[in-house]
A and B are shown apart, each in its own frame.
Chain A
Amino acid sequence: MDIILDNIGLYRDGLLKTLQICLYAGIGSLVLGTVIATFRVSPFPPLRATGTAWVTVFRNCPLAVVLFFCAFGLPELGIHGAYFWFGVSGLVLYTSAFVCEAVRSGINAVPLGQAEAARAVGLTYAQSLREIVLPQALRSAVPPLGSVMIAMVKNSAIVGAFGVGGELFSVQARLTSAQGLALIPVLLGVAAGYLIITIPAGVALGALERRLAVVR
């Protein structure tokens, strides 16, 4: 246990960095994912095709490969930046596909009558989506969205293998390999770090689900 206490600074910084990554990636993927979801249900075939292609690629490609392309492919194309942002971008791209599917399931859960009524009143596609469908869809989408966000927090560990230093997974890798410290305390410390984020998030998600549950 001394090992954790001695390195508590490293753990704390690692936790903060992980939270930072998750915050940016969370916001980014929620926005991007919702946009892609609107592509997928739009009346415009090219947009639908783009949305479907996006989801097919990013849902089926391992995150490790996506991150590799962000970290090494983008610089080849002349796009430079700190690896932190490449890591966040990779996470956003990957998670957006799952957010899209969650939002789409929410849209599909909105009763048909709502969309029909919106059309009957004369709202355009964009208006009916913005005013009527999406607000209701997002309520239904909260459970799967919450799970996607928690999964993203855990996936942030992989970002550590692609040049992003200082977050929880890198902390553990450093302490165990280079300094040869005892494994079990170090790993328990890192596990605790992730659980501090995911367990309260899971509990909050459950509470949110119950409050927002739509009884049909």
Chain B
Amino acid sequence: MLFDRPGPRTRRRIMVGSIVTGLGLGALAILVLVRLAAGGQLAEEKWGPIINPANPLFVALWANLGLALLNNIEAAVLAMALSMLLGTVLAVTRISLPRWGRWTVVAPMEFFRGLPVVIAIFFASRILPELGVDLPLLWYLVIGLTAYNSVIIAEIVRAGVASLPRGQSEAAAAVGLTRGQALRAVLLPQAIRVMLPALISQLVVIFKDTSLGFVILYGEAVRFVAIAIQELHNPLQLYLTIGAIFILINYLVGRLAVWTEQRLTHPGRRGVAAQEPAAPTGEAMIAGTSTAGG
């Protein structure tokens, strides 16, 4: 620990400090609210459709916002499922290929990894129709998301398999399984348990990235807000609402990831040795869990 347990003097200091900080934050909040009120941002006409059920636009707003959010969720679920499939295939192919052949998989992977997701989504939506592939907007979003996230998931799978005890792959080889059979029957099933928290965290990333659908005018929530504000003229309020909704959803999914990890790092009833969680990759960071002993 970086500090001792607080004694009575420190406790008093902490209480004073908490009160001061609380007052400070409160004053800041009041300042902001006053500023906003002066600009008419707290008016009923701006907040009405969002929080007042009696407002005539309330139902239309929330019904359509709900539909738009469902579009986000739909894109996220599809992208996640496809990324897991493609990611696992990429990881397995990469492990199974001989060293000299790996670049055929690694090169495209690095290409899509280095590309911003926005560009990948834009790419998909403009190039595929040129090549004659005609799909609803949803699929361009999903394809763009999958191109990027399957690479990330391939990395997660690779780290997951690498974190398994050496003995597993050695035993599989001793029993006579080929590399591919060993992966499928022995390593991957165990690796999935280990990867689960990182995978759930990646779901959060994917869900956030579905908001990028607005660049191709896919009818998801952020695009819906951009159109709605033309009629309702309350951009701050609507963007605050959609931000809060995203934060809530992602926070809950993030808690799920942490809970999953905690359940997995404790020995199960079967007495399996506690597995080291897969190394955090890039944005797929789980809320800083410390590995015992570093």
> A194 within 8 Å of B by Cβ?
yes
Q: Would you call A78 and B35 a contact (CB within 8 A)?
A: yes
| Residues of A contacting B242 in the complex (Cβ-Cβ under 8 angstroms) | 65
Q: Would you call B122 and A65 a contact (CB within 8 A)?
A: no
B88-132 interface mask toward A, CB cutoff 8 Å, 1 = contact, 0 = none? 000000000000000000000011011111110011001100100
Chain B CB count within 10 A is highest, among A57, A60, A202, for A60
Cα separation A132 to B239 with both chains bound (whole Å)? 43
| Residues of B contacting A161 in the complex (Cβ-Cβ under 8 angstroms) | 214-215
| Residues of B contacting A45 in the complex (Cβ-Cβ under 8 angstroms) | 14, 18
Cα separation A142 to B240 with both chains bound (whole Å)? 34
List residues of B whose CB falls within 8 A of some A CB: 1-4, 6, 10, 14, 17-18, 21-22, 32, 35-36, 39, 41, 110-111, 113-119, 122-123, 126-127, 130, 204, 208-209, 211-212, 214-215, 222, 235-236, 239-240, 242-243, 246-251, 254, 280-283, 285, 287-291, 293-294
- Select A76's contact among B1, B3, B39, B283, beta carbons within 8 Å: B39
Cα separation A148 to B289 with both chains bound (whole Å)? 18
User: Closest CB of chain B to A105's CB: distance in Å?
Assistant: 5
Chain A interface residue number, banded: 35 or more
- Select B285's contact among A46, A73, A102, beta carbons within 8 Å: A102
Q: Would you call B247 and A191 a contact (CB within 8 A)?
A: no
Q: Would you call B4 and A202 a contact (CB within 8 A)?
A: no
Question: A101-B285, A155-B116 known; A64 and B211 CB under 8 Å?
Answer: yes
- Select B288's contact among A57, A108, A151, A191, beta carbons within 8 Å: A108
| Residues of A contacting B126 in the complex (Cβ-Cβ under 8 angstroms) | 176, 183, 187
User: Closest CB of chain B to A187's CB: distance in Å?
Assistant: 5
User: Closest CB of chain B to A216's CB: distance in Å?
Assistant: 6
- Select B127's contact among A41, A77, A151, A184, beta carbons within 8 Å: A184
Additional A-B contacts beyond A43-B14, A125-B2, A172-B122 (9; CB < 8 A): A62-B243, A65-B222, A76-B36, A77-B32, A112-B1, A133-B2, A154-B114, A158-B212, A199-B110
- Select B35's contact among A44, A77, A150, beta carbons within 8 Å: A77
- Select B2's contact among A62, A105, A129, beta carbons within 8 Å: A129
Q: Would you call B283 and A148 a contact (CB within 8 A)?
A: yes
Q: Would you call A191 and B119 a contact (CB within 8 A)?
A: yes
> A207 within 8 Å of B by Cβ?
no
Cα separation A139 to B14 with both chains bound (whole Å)? 32
Question: A169-B119, A191-B123 known; A109 and B294 CB under 8 Å?
Answer: yes
Q: Would you call B116 and A108 a contact (CB within 8 A)?
A: no
Q: Would you call B285 and A76 a contact (CB within 8 A)?
A: no
Q: Would you call B116 and A157 a contact (CB within 8 A)?
A: yes
Q: Would you call B236 and A187 a contact (CB within 8 A)?
A: no
Q: Would you call A69 and B239 a contact (CB within 8 A)?
A: yes
Interface residues of A in 71-121 (CB under 8 A from B): 72-73, 76-78, 98, 101-102, 104-105, 108-112, 115-116, 118-119
Cα separation A150 to B283 with both chains bound (whole Å)? 10
Closest to A140 in B: B294
13 sampled A-B residue pairs with Cβ under 8 A: A45-B14, A59-B254, A77-B32, A77-B36, A108-B289, A109-B291, A111-B294, A112-B294, A151-B282, A158-B116, A172-B119, A187-B119, A187-B123
